[in-house]
Structure 1
Amino acid sequence: MKLELIATSTFGLEAVVKREIESLGYKIIKSEDAKITYIGDERAIVKSNLWLRCADRVLVKMGEFEALEFEELFQNMKGIPWEEWIPADGNFKVNCTSVKSKLFSMRSCQSVSEKAIIERLKETYGMERFEKTGAEYVVKVTLLKDRATITLDTTGEGLHKRGYRQNAVTAPIKETLAAAMVQLSFWREGRLLVDPCCGSGTIPIEAAMIAKNIAPGLNRHFAAEKWDIIPEKIWKEERKAAFQEIQDDKDIRIQAYDINPAAIEAAEENAADAGVDDCIVFKRMNMTELEALEQGGIIITNPPYGERIGEKDEIRKIYNKLKNFLKQNPSWSLFMITPDKTIEKQVFGKPADRRRKLYNGNIEVCYYQYYGVKPAK
């Protein structure tokens, strides 16, 4: 079955997600703010959920149309062949958003859309009442400038829920963003990676998973696994193929530090659950003790932001340590996210080689990239 799929993403990560989709062999139709549309089939739903590291969700595009009145919304929603996806016992739900549209009441849009789906299924199954005891189907109605895009969520819990982070510390970075930070850096196997503010270990764990080619969705389940339209055989085949793609013979050297002993303990447990504890060295250490273990290393980090009184001074000490470290070790590179927009001028005294606006949850951050000089052979 030929399908139009949509991978949603955090603003700023569209190009990364696009490359991931293309690496899976699928044709991109359109790349927009926070979503990439591409062509696939039932197997593409499975592979996308298993392998996309930086996307938030994988959606099936069910329809798109103009909706200026509720009657238009109802008739177009009813015209979608929902019975091809939702069985008689399907537990379907409707979520709506509306931006710059005449149909601005999300509650009304949800009610009209759900009624349209029920009417369509009534005609198909000859039923007056739906118990909704089966698999879950989340329908999303997105209204933007009077144009409705209708999608079906195949993912369930967001793709950042890898399944390994059972233990987290305050204000953890999302796994999808951590993976993007690694992919946007120059780090590869054989090169030392250091995270001096590792928290619960998300950045080093994601880096190790990338290096070992571990599919990020391998140890979790997805909403579409319970759908009749995708045979269980496909899920088993793709999981088996993903296991066979894991590479355990890579030269992976990752050091991760944190001053908080609880964070280090959580990070070690998370790394073990992710299957990468064999290639990450975790250590309780004040980042002011950071030393260059060799030339040409790379720092990828998400330092604490510090909003309370006294914290900002501590954060500035971390920034100054990183600045001095780079001065003393010019072959090292730094990749860091922070909401602080004064870093370049007030700390490093020079513009970053590259910067990118991203979001860590609802917090706008900047991904600063300072490149080290290539060490002499």
Structure 2
Amino acid sequence: MSKLKLIATSAFGVESVVARELRQLGYDQLSTENGRVTFTSDELGLCRSNLWLRTAERVLLQVGEFSARTFEELFQQTRALPWEEWLPANALFPVEGKSIKSQLHSVPDCQAIVKKAIVERLKRSYKLEWFPEDGPRYTVEVALLKDTVTLTLDTSGAGLHKRGYRQLAGPAPLKETLASAMILLSRWQPEQPLLDPFCGSGTIPLEAALIAQNRAPGLKRNFVSEQWPNLPKQLWQEAWQEALDLWQPSLPLRIFGSDIDPEVLRLARVHAQEAGLAEQVHFQRLPVAQVRSRFDYGHLITNPPYGERVGEKSEAALLYQELGTVWRNLATWSLHFLTTERKPEQYIGKRWDKSRKLYNGRLECHYFQFFGPRPPSPRRIQDSGKVSSPASQLD
């Protein structure tokens, strides 16, 4: 199989988590930049990365990269690329674009020129003058950054945060990719209890269950590149079979979610049913101040209300204070939460141990982590996100 240059895109702040996931998949030739991790793989790796990456937004296939300051340079260098290696004669290939700090700042013009250059290349390759574009979809992206042009094909289709279980959404839903990043950054292990006291429609508990069961997040969805005739079907079948073999659906879990809103809890239960996790993840209607647990050495991982709108700041501050009280009462637990608040220690009663800037959509947030004591005799397991080493079963 040929070597490919692939790009896993991500939200800002999550790049190192995506890079760690790729290394766990066995892809060590990678480089990290803002919003993306570039790695070298083969066609099977294209399939596996789409199926397994929990925190990436998309997987792009890089067709070419070059410097261009004029439209003529953009046209000529785009036309010189081997588009026929991927695009069949009937390919549907819309062109999307973005430009940052580049001389070629008109995105519509860049899109039109790239489209024309690809057509000219395909005319020469297929000896045709007209292309019906009624076949499989190959979305082309032209991305310009400081006069460097990167041309890619989107191999994912719908964003990777779409796992297939969340058809409904409550207000301000947390993306599945960000929820997974929060969990993977938390040091939580599948044999430990996990509780989200502001669970909303259930994203954090459900993503934690997928991680614990070593279930590929893309197992219940499809990808646009499955329809590409030049990507052998048996590679997808091999990737799917590997994912099924490594999935541990019977692994017992102690994962809980609670919320005060009965409507979002209804959505959470629907999503758990859709994900096949209704028996493994438990939801309860409960105000945060009443949250308790009989378990030790667990993790509170949550995305509480931010109070961004006028009049809501005082309500959010009260919730943070209650969250701090709950955590202090759970003496052996760790606390991890995402917020726009810059000084959470005034509510939690202790300075945070780690902080990381993350973006919830376009909103700049901070992920604060307050670590509890280590278990007296912690059972070490290999990283639960690693495909080749599924999470161990509970005692």
Aligned to 1:145: 146
- Cα distance between partner residues in 1 of 2:350 and 2:366: 15
After superposition, the C-alpha distances for 1:166-225 in whole angstroms (9 at most, x for unaligned) are 121000100000001111112112211110110000000000000001100011111111
**Residues 165-176 of structure 1: pairs in structure 2 closer than 5 A:** 165-176=166-177
- Cα distance between partner residues in 2 of 1:47 and 1:258: 35
Paired letter, 1:201: G
Aligned to 2:160: 159
Runs (4+) off by over 4 Å: none
Aligned to 1:110: 111
Paired letter, 2:66: F
Residue 320 of structure 1, CA deviation? 0.4
- Cα distance between partner residues in 2 of 1:324 and 1:259: 17
Aligned to 1:4: 5
Task: State how many pairs are aligned.
Answer: 376
- Cα distance between partner residues in 1 of 2:21 and 2:291: 34
Matched-pair contact (CA < 8 Å) for 1:359–1:365? yes
Aligned to 1:362: 362
The share of aligned pairs that are identical, in percent, is 48
Paired letter, 1:374: R
Q: Secondary structure at the match of 1:114?
A: helix
Question: What TM-score do the two structures reach when normalised by structure 2?
Answer: 0.92
Q: Does 1:351 align with 2:351?
A: yes
After superposition, the C-alpha distances for 1:235-280 in whole angstroms (9 at most, x for unaligned) are 1221122111111343310111011111111101101211222211
- Cα distance between partner residues in 1 of 2:220 and 2:328: 42
**Residues 228-267 of structure 1: pairs in structure 2 closer than 5 A:** 228-267=229-268
After superposition, the C-alpha distances for 1:356-377 in whole angstroms (9 at most, x for unaligned) are 0001111111000001123557
Matched-pair contact (CA < 8 Å) for 1:189–1:251? no
Paired letter, 2:112: S
**Residues 122-201 of structure 1: pairs in structure 2 closer than 5 A:** 122-201=123-202
Matched-pair contact (CA < 8 Å) for 1:89–1:134? yes
Residue 321 of structure 1, CA deviation? 0.9
After superposition, the C-alpha distances for 1:317-358 in whole angstroms (9 at most, x for unaligned) are 2100111123333311100001111323x3234431000000
Residue 80 of structure 1, CA deviation? 0.6
| Unpaired stretches in structure 1, ≥5 consecutive residues | none
Deviates more, 1:217-226 or 1:306-315: 306-315
- Cα distance between partner residues in 2 of 1:56 and 1:85: 22
After superposition, the C-alpha distances for 1:271-294 in whole angstroms (9 at most, x for unaligned) are 121122221111111111111322
| Unpaired stretches in structure 2, ≥5 consecutive residues | 378-395
- Cα distance between partner residues in 2 of 1:322 and 1:19: 30
Q: Secondary structure at the match of 2:237?
A: helix
**Residues 1-377 of structure 1: pairs in structure 2 closer than 5 A:** 1-344=2-345, 346-374=346-374
Matched-pair contact (CA < 8 Å) for 1:18–1:28? no
Question: What TM-score do the two structures reach when normalised by structure 1?
Answer: 0.97
Residue 139 of structure 1, CA deviation? 0.9
- Cα distance between partner residues in 2 of 1:84 and 1:369: 47
Paired letter, 1:359: Y
